[in-house]
Structure 1
Amino acid sequence: MAPFNLTHSEASTFILMGIPGLEAAHVWISIPFSMFYVIGLLGNFMVLFTVGKEQTLQKPMYLLLCMLALTDMATPTFVVPKALCIFWFSLKDITVSGCLTQMFFLHVVSLIHSAVLVTMAFDRYVAVCDPLRYSTILTNVRIAKLVLVGLTRAVLFILPLPLLLSRQPFCSNRFIPHTQCEHVAVVKMFCGDISVNKIYGFVLLFIVYGVDLTLITLSYNFIIRTVLRISSKEAHQKTLNTCTAHVCVMLMYYTPSLFSNLTHRFGQGIAPQVHIILADLYLLIPPMLNPIIYGVKTKELRDKMGKYTCKL
């Protein structure tokens, strides 16, 4: 994406401070950061590699897992390399256009991730509640269209945030107390009338997550009612294993995301270091754990991943 057209000098920069108050521990903090990042990349790459190699796995459920893996690889990649440059080399400068671009992609991928989770809930709803029509309702082409709708929604919803900010004057303080250009942190760097940005960001949070969580809740409400009527213990256990994996992944994504966003806006009594560490861990922990959860709970994927892992 081309840098945003700014009304300010292209040489203008912000300073990402990392984790203020914990500068002496930056090197130590970077160790779990880099470990979580590398483990997450390897795990998600294995999911993509396994599904790509195995023809039997190239069906809607596993293609959605691949989309989830792609977002899990992209999200920390927009943040961790710059954070490690801050921790290791004190390279804290970032251009304004670079900061707004990072913010744009970071939030776009977050909304795509949410859309994929909604689609996964719909996939499980059809598989459990209407299995005889599963292959006709959820074709690979239809899954691709749903993902494209999620991508379009994300771009259209997030694009106004950096565009509105790019027209605002800077404050004299260019120091962002964060490791990343998160919207809530960046908006404080501008001294014009940013009320529209604040309101839009807040409304966007509740509209997107509210709609997505409502759809997911409805899907799993129907799934639970159907599962309780299953008489076969084996089928009952298989369905529960798959759905449990999905629920765990959704809880790991939405719970810290909502907590981080709400504490940024209303948790004035919480130390800023806590805000920053929570925001960073939210980008690192779920991508690292998602492949493990699906590997443990989904036997077909677990067996195929085990086969390729043993060959390495």
Structure 2
Amino acid sequence: MGAGWVAGTTRARALRTRCLGREGIGELASSGTLDEALRHLAATAYRRDVTVGATAAEAQRAISSTLLWHLRVLAGWQPSAGARAVRALAAGFEISNVMHHLGGMFPDSHGPGPGAEPFHPAPHRLGALATAWPRLSRTRTAAELRTALASSSWGDPGGDSPAAIASGMRISAAVRLADAVPDAARWAAARVALQFGRETLVLGRRLPDVSLRRAARLLGPRAVASGAYADFRQALPPTASWLFDDVDEAADLWRAEGRWWHAVGQDGRELLRRSGFGPRPVVGAVALLSADAWRTRGALELAARGGGPKHWTVEVPDGPG
């Protein structure tokens, strides 16, 4: 094993201390106010971008930014194969940038809602974790954005509407993740299954043909062609079907989100515990950090609503996309 993997794995294992953990997340969730929660976060590994007086949306964005910073540092310690794995696992940050960029082109369709304060965060600073963001950020219309995506490793999303671009990028990211990081293949397949079920079986949207073909690579053609939830669930491969145990109706798919993050966190912990040096502990660190950040954002939301019990942990969300 090369020196690069030794250094990269050592750094990955050290990042466990950056997680808030179940106890810390429970304490955060029990905060009676948002300001109290922010003061609590200011004494944790998430203090880098969190400021007292921030809104809930700003603080949640800061938590994501702290996660991204840790991933950028982790990638910098890796040999080339490890850096590619971290980049594939961090693709959601580039998708977020693109969707905020696209929202500026369709302000009416991406508004904060009645009575809500507008929130226009600066793009995530991706550094070496960017796939095509510098070029994508220079586009000025949705058509230009689609063309730029088509000429990059993201591929053509099959349309230039916000929905087509979002679904196209998410499915493309999952396919690339499954190819590049075998230890994350079941996360990728299950995530695509959840997205496909929501968009086609709950919202009644038809995905562009190119996204259907990509989804079929992870889910199989029978699942993608299913018109009913029961048929879809039955046709899924084992890499994805585990997510839908006891989810008997399409309307209950929101429950699978928490199960997905729980599995990512558990798998990440096991990968990180394994002895030796190589990509698995690195993948595990990214998974564990990401799941911790997701739970921390959920706990912050609960604190902003008045808080919950001290031993509360985030396992089931309120249905975010």
TM-score of the alignment, normalized to the shorter chain, above 0.5: no
State the structure with more CA Rg.
1
Q: TM-score, normalised by structure 2?
A: 0.27
| TM-score computed with the length of structure 1 as normaliser | 0.28
